[in-house]
Amino acid sequence: MSDGSAPSPPNPQAPDPVDVGPPAPGAAADGPAAPEGARDGASNGPRHAKRDFRLFLSSHVSNELGGAVTEVALPLTAVVLLGATPMQVGVLAAADQAAFLLLGLPAGAWVDRMRSRTVMMAADAARVLLLASVPVAYLLGVLDMAVLVAVALLLGCARLFADVADHTYLPSLVGPDRLVQGNSRLEAVRSASGFAGPGIAGTAVQVFGAAGTLGANALTSLASLLFLGAIRTREPDPAPVGRTGLAGQIREGVAFLLGHRLLRLIVLETALINLFMSAIFAIEVLFLTRTVGLPPAVVGWMMAGATLGALVGAGVTGRLAAAVGQARLIWLSALVTMPFGLLLPLAAPDWRAGVYVLASAVLAAGTVCYNICQIAYRQRECPPELLGRMTATVRTIVWGVIPVSALMGGAVADLVGVREAVAVFAVAMALCPLVLVFSPLRRMRGFDDGEQGAAPEPEAGPGAGAGADPNGGPDADPDGGPDAVRPPTP
C-alpha cells in the first residue's frame, strides 16, 4: 500500500533476488543490490538468493505448522488432561499473549540492535526446550496448570522476538521491490500450515495424548532452526545505537507510528477486532468440546477446515485490491466478513457444525485480506533502522489487548455461559468495522489518494517512504499468525 511516496530507484545491474513471481505493479523489473557485508563465498546472485529464500520459506513451514499444532494442543492439554475451568483456559490464553503487552516495546529496540536471523534462531532453540519440557513434567508427575501457564508465557516471549525479527529480516533478504511477492508466499505457507496443523493436533492428542503431542512438536522448531542456520546471505550490520538509550529508541518507534494518520486508524481497528475475536478464540476449544460435545479430533479438523478460508483470501486479495483499491479493501473486507461471526454460537453436533466451519472460514478470509493490505506498506514506509521498533509498537498495541480479551473471554463465559459469551463477542466483533467505515479511509481507493496517510520524517534518519509502491500492491503478514489468521496480525 502507498500513501504517495515515490518508489526507490532501481539498481539496473542487480539480479532478481528471489523467484517470487512477476514484479508488483509499479515495481522495477530488476531487484535491489545484494545486502552489504555479504560473507565471503556467499554469493547473492539469483541462484543463492532463491536458495536462501526457499530456506526461509522452509523455516516458516516448520514454525507455522508447529505453531498451529501448539495452538490446539496446548488448550487441549489443559482441558482434557488437567480438567481446566473456563477461567483457567482464559488465563492460559492470556499467558500465551502476555509477552506482547509486557515486552513488546523494548523487544523492538533490542531486535534493532541485533541481527534478525540470530534472534529467530535463538527463539527456535527456546521453543525446542519449552515444548519438550511438557512431556517431561508429565512423566515426573509435576504437570499442572501453573507449569502449563509458565510454558505458554515463555513460548509467547520466544514468538514475540521471532515475529519482530521476521518482519525486520525479510526486506534485507528479498529487497524492497519484492516485498509484496515475498510476503504473499509467506502468507500462503502460513495458511496451508494453519489448515494442516489443527487437524494433526486434534488427531495426535486423541491418539498419543496431549503432553506427548507437544513434546513431539518440538521437532518442528528444531527443523526451523536448522533451515535458518543454512542461509548464506548475511544481512546488513545493525545501525549503531549512538547516544540514544533504550527509552529514546522506543520513543522513536512510537513517534513514527503515532505520527502516521493511516497507520493510527488501522492499528485502532485491528486492536478492536483482536479484543473480541481473541475472546472467542480463548474459549473456542472449551465451547466445541464441552458445550457442543465434539471429540478432540473433530475439533481439530473443524479448526483446520476454517483455515481454507485463509487460503482463499490469500489467493484472491491481489485481484480484489486491483479491482477496488487497497484502502477500500481494508474496510470492505472487515465490513463484509466480520458479521459472519454471528453464526458461531449456533454450532451443534449435527449439520450446524458445518455452519461453524463456514463462518470461521469467512472470518479467516476477511482477516487475511485485511492483513495483506498493510504489511508491505509498513515495511516500505518505515526506515530500516526503525522497522523493528515500529513493528514492535504495533504489536504491543494490537496484540497487547489479547491477554485482556482472553481473561475477559474466560470471565464472561463463567458469568453468563460459554455459548452466550461467544454470542456477545460475535456481536461486538461485527460492529468493529464501523471505525473505518466512518473514517477518511472510506473516501480513498488507494493509499496514494490524498495526504491522509502522510507521516512526518522520523528523527532516526532518512528513508521513510523508500520503496513504497505507488500502485498499492497488497501484502501479507508473517504477523501472524495464528497468528496471521487467528487473530489478525498487522
72-102 residue pLDDT tens: 888 888 888 888 888 888 888 888 878 877 8
Asked whether 104 and 392 are in contact (CB, 8 A), the reply is yes
* Single-letter residue type at 359: A
Mapping DSSP onto H, E and C, the string for 79-108 reads: HHHCCCCHHHHHHHHHHHHHHHHHCHHHHH
Q: What is the pLDDT of residues 19-53, one digit of tens each?
A: 343 333 333 333 333 333 333 333 445 566 678 88
Q: List residues bridging with 483 in a β-sheet.
A: 481
In a domain, 32, yes or no: no
In a domain, 17, yes or no: no
Asked whether 327 and 381 are in contact (CB, 8 A), the reply is no
Asked whether 263 and 453 are in contact (CB, 8 A), the reply is yes
- Measured CA to CA, the distance from residue 253 to residue 490 in angstroms comes to 15
pLDDT tens, position by position, for the chain (490 residues)? 333 333 333 333 333 333 343 333 333 333 333 333 333 333 445 566 678 888 888 888 888 888 888 888 888 888 888 888 888 888 888 888 788 778 877 877 777 778 888 888 999 999 999 999 999 998 998 999 999 999 999 999 998 888 888 777 777 777 666 665 666 677 677 777 767 777 777 778 778 788 888 888 889 899 989 998 888 877 766 666 656 677 777 787 788 888 777 778 888 888 999 999 989 988 998 899 889 998 877 887 787 777 788 888 878 887 888 888 877 888 899 999 999 999 999 999 888 889 999 999 999 889 888 887 777 667 666 777 777 777 778 878 888 788 888 889 989 999 999 999 999 999 999 999 988 888 777 887 766 664 444 444 433 333 333 333 333 333 334 333 333 344 444 4
Q: How many other C-beta atoms can be found within 10 angstroms of the C-beta atom of residue 303?
A: 28
Q: What angle do CA 392, 397, 398 make, to 5 degrees?
A: 100
How far is the CA of 154 from the CAs of 69, 131, 140, 308, 379, in angstroms? 17, 10, 20, 30, 27
In a domain, 21, yes or no: no
- Measured CA to CA, the distance from residue 319 to residue 10 in angstroms comes to 25
In a domain, 378, yes or no: yes
- Helices H, strands E: what count in the chain? 20, 0
182 lies in which domain range? 46-239+246-485
In a domain, 30, yes or no: no
SS3 for 481?
strand
In a domain, 28, yes or no: no
Asked whether 484 and 478 are in contact (CB, 8 A), the reply is yes
Number of domains making up the chain:
1
The full DSSP string for 236-247 is PPPPP-TT--HH
- Measured CA to CA, the distance from residue 392 to residue 165 in angstroms comes to 10
Residue 435: half-sphere exposure toward Cβ, Cα within 13 Å: 20
In a domain, 366, yes or no: yes
* Single-letter residue type at 251: R
Q: What angle do the packed helices 179-208 and 46-76 form, to 10 degrees?
A: 40
Asked whether 436 and 442 are in contact (CB, 8 A), the reply is yes
**CATH classification of the domain holding 88:** 1.20.1250.20
